[in-house]
Amino acid sequence: MSREIRRTMPLLSMSIVMQLTELSARQIRYYEEHHLIEPHRTDGNRRMFSLNDVDILLEIKDYLEQGMNMAKIKRIFAKKSDQSVQNEIDLSDTELRRVMREEMKQAQRMQKSSIRQGDLSRFY
Amino acid sequence: MSREIRRTMPLLSMSIVMQLTELSARQIRYYEEHHLIEPHRTDGNRRMFSLNDVDILLEIKDYLEQGMNMAKIKRIFAKKSDQSVQNEIDLSDTELRRVMREEMKQAQRMQKSSIRQGDLSRFY
DNA sequence: AATACCATGTTATATAACCTTACATCTCCG
DNA sequence: CGGAGATGTAAGGTTATATAACATGGTATT
Grouping H, G, I as helix, E, B as strand and the rest as coil, residue A124 is coil
pLDDT at A6: 81
Q: Tell which wins on pLDDT, A33 or A102.
A: A33
**CB nearest A12 (choices: B11, B54, B117):** B11
Read off the pLDDT of each residue in A1-30 and give the average, rounded to a whole number.
Answer: 91
The shortest CB-CB distance from B51 to any of A22, A118, A123 is to: A123
Cα of B22 to nearest chain A Cα, Å: 7
Instruction: Mark the nucleotides of strand D covered by protein, meaning any atom under 7 Å from a CB.
Output: 5-9, 14-19
CA of B92 vs chain A CAs: smallest distance (Å) = 30
Predicted confidence pLDDT, tens digits, chain B (124 residues): 566 658 999 999 999 999 999 999 999 999 999 999 999 999 999 999 999 999 999 999 999 999 999 999 999 998 887 776 666 555 555 454 444 445 444 444 344 433 334 444 444 4
Residue A56 has pLDDT above 90, yes or no: yes
Question: Tens of pLDDT along A76-102?
Answer: 998 887 776 666 555 555 454 444 445
Three-state SS at A41 = strand
pLDDT higher than 90, residue A67: yes
**Which of strand C's nucleotides are less than 7 A from any protein C-beta?**
6-10, 15-21
Contacts of A6 in chain B (CB under 8 A): 124
pTM: 0.78
**CA of B81: how far to CAs of B40, B71, B76, B106, in Å?**
19, 15, 9, 22
